[in-house]
Every structure is written in structure tokens, then in C-alpha cells.
Amino acid sequence: MAAADPDTEVQAEFPPLVRQYKSGRVERFFNPAPLPAGTDAATGVVSKDVDVDPATGLWARLFLPPGSHGKKQQLPVVVYYHGGAYVIGSAADPWTHTYLNALVAKAGVLVVALEYRLAPEHPLPTAYEDSWEGLKWVATHAAAAAGGGGPVEPWLTEHGDFSRVFLAGASAGGTIAHLVAVRAGEQQGHGDLLGMRVRGLLIVHPYFSGAADIGDEGTTGKQRKAQADAFWRFLYPGSPGLDDPLSNPFSEAAGGSAARVAADRVLVCVAEKDDLRDRGVWYYESLRASGYPGEVELLESKGEGHVFYCMNPRCDRAREMEERILSFLRM
């Protein structure tokens, strides 16, 4: 009998996202080819890719509004983290790229979309560490713009208003945005990070979890919770499970860290038909009760599912969400 081929024998599978074989080979689904940076024909937004840390391969896609290139125009800076359950997605995937083009054109902001490394090849907490390093890289430009020297990316030094910085992310990226905001608060004090003022934290359809059921989670059965736990351990081997502070920001192990979010305001967006809806509302309610001193807002999109605004950006609820986010970024 022939020996099994480790390159075709499945070790772990989590449809519809990812499959890993015993050889270590990873097969990703729902993962379309990336779009190139450049000038967007529909919006006039210009984007480019820049290296952040060549040693790790960390890079970012920067977006400038139409008419800004070549001008000394100061713009709010949005540091954005894409979603994809830590195993798929990219700053260059069609949904993220198209969404950010539209956001930049309408909000008049400079976006830095960071490309963190994915699991399982790079298990958690790699994505968080990359995301933190990316934020620190952005922050070095605040000193450079003030004449302090250091590495210079011209779009940031010429166009970035570091007194108006926002951290944002969707799905797993929303979780990342929360965690880097907490880390910033713990290291630099409320709202200030290496010369940057973090005005707002935008959390969209966040991918949080926890060992205890909340909301409707108890109606989905023990098997669903077991699958969630198995997937988390696939992402983060050696983790204690769903109450890891990187999954549950209000667990005992998190030690009240959520209250130290470095942002003046937080906007949490959830969707009524999203399986993660109850966790998003729980995050909103828990943050308000945590002792966090800023304002926390909630927007629920009725009748919609997870990241619906990327799939159907012209629907009424997507336009409603867009207007709320634009208002948040203009504060």
C-alpha cells in the first residue's frame, strides 16, 4: 500500500476560508487576485505600495484623494486594517481596494492600509505584531514632518495631519484596530502616540469571541462553539482559547486593558444578520462600561450581513453607513 502524500492529505480545514495539508501547504478560498495600485478611474484616487519593513515583508498601500498629489495639503490619516479572519484578505484585494478608493474620495483623507502576514504560515500573534509595527512606522513620520529627521515617505510627511489620526478596520481588522489602540494607550497615554493624536477608532463588524455565550450564541449549539475554538487554536497554536485577550478583550486575562484605548471617540458598526452582530454590540456595551473616558457610538445596519457594504456599496444601508463614517472622520 502506497504511503499517503502529505501534500494532498488534509491536516485542517475550515470552509469556506482555508485548508492546510500535512506538508504545510495552504489552500485559500474566497481569495481573489489582488488589484494593482495606481490611479482609480472611477474616483481619481491615487494609490501606491510602500515597504514598511523589508526584513519581514511588511508593506502598506497608501491612498491619496484626487487633486492632492503634488500639493502641500494636510489631510487626516486613517490607518486601516483589512479583514479576512487572519487567513485571507489583503490591502490589495478587490473589496478593500475598491472600498478605500471610495472612502478616500469622499472623506478627503490619506489612508495607510497595512498588509500584515497571515496565518497559518505566520500564526497569531504575528498579525498583531505586524499591525503594531506598521502603526509605529506611521508615527515616525509625525516627527519627520516636524523636522525631526528619520525615515521619510513623502506622501505622509507632505500630506499627513498627525493631529487627526484614525485607526480603523473591518472584521478581523476591527479586532486588530482595537488591540493596537489599546497598546498605543498603554504605552503613550490617552490619545497620543509618538506625536500623533488619535481622534477616533472605527470598528466595523469586529471578529471578537469568548468562551461564554452571549446573545444568540447559545442557540447555535456546542458544535459551533467548538468549531470557533478549534479555528482560534489553528490561528494561534498554544493560545489558552477563546478567552485569550486577543480574542476576548473583556476576559479576566485582558485585565481591563480595553479602557485604555488611545482614541477620543469610538464608532462600532454592526449588521443585523451578521453572525458576529451580538459580539459587536457586546463590545460596544462593554467598552462603555469599562471606564474608557471617551464617547462610544453604535450603528446597526438593519437587514444586512457581514461586510455587506463591500458586496453591495450602493444599497441604502451602505449609504447610511457611509454617511455615519464620513461624519465620524470629519469631527
To the query of whether residue 229 is one of the catalytic residues in this protein, the response is no
Burial of 168 (0-12, 13-18, 19+ CB in 10 A): buried
Marked catalytic residue, from 47, 68, 131, 171: 171
Angle at 119 between CA 19 and CA 202, to 5 degrees: 120
Cα separation, 85 vs 64, in Å, equals 27
Give 101's contacts (C-beta < 8 A, 6+ positions apart): 40, 42, 43, 45, 47, 63
Contact 115, 131 (CB under 8 A): no
Q: Which amino acid is at 288?
A: R
To the query of whether residue 209 is one of the catalytic residues in this protein, the response is no
Contact 181, 166 (CB under 8 A): no
Angle at 171 between CA 168 and CA 176, to 5 degrees: 55
Total residue length of the chain: 331
Over the Cα atoms of the chain, what is R_g?
20
| Phi, psi angle pair for 63, to nearest 5° | -125, 130
To the query of whether residue 278 is one of the catalytic residues in this protein, the response is no
Marked catalytic residue, from 131, 178, 274, 301: 274
| Phi, psi angle pair for 272, to nearest 5° | -55, -40
Question: For the chain, first and last CA: distance in Å?
Answer: 69
Q: Give residue 15's region: left, alpha or beta (phi > 0; psi -120 to 50).
A: beta
Marked catalytic residue, from 159, 178, 205, 306: 306
Cα separation, 146 vs 140, in Å, equals 10
Q: Where are the beta strands (DSSP E) in the chain?
A: 10-14, 18-21, 26-28, 46-53, 58-64, 75-81, 110-115, 160-170, 192-193, 196-204, 265-271, 295-301
Please give the positions annotated as active site.
171, 274, 306
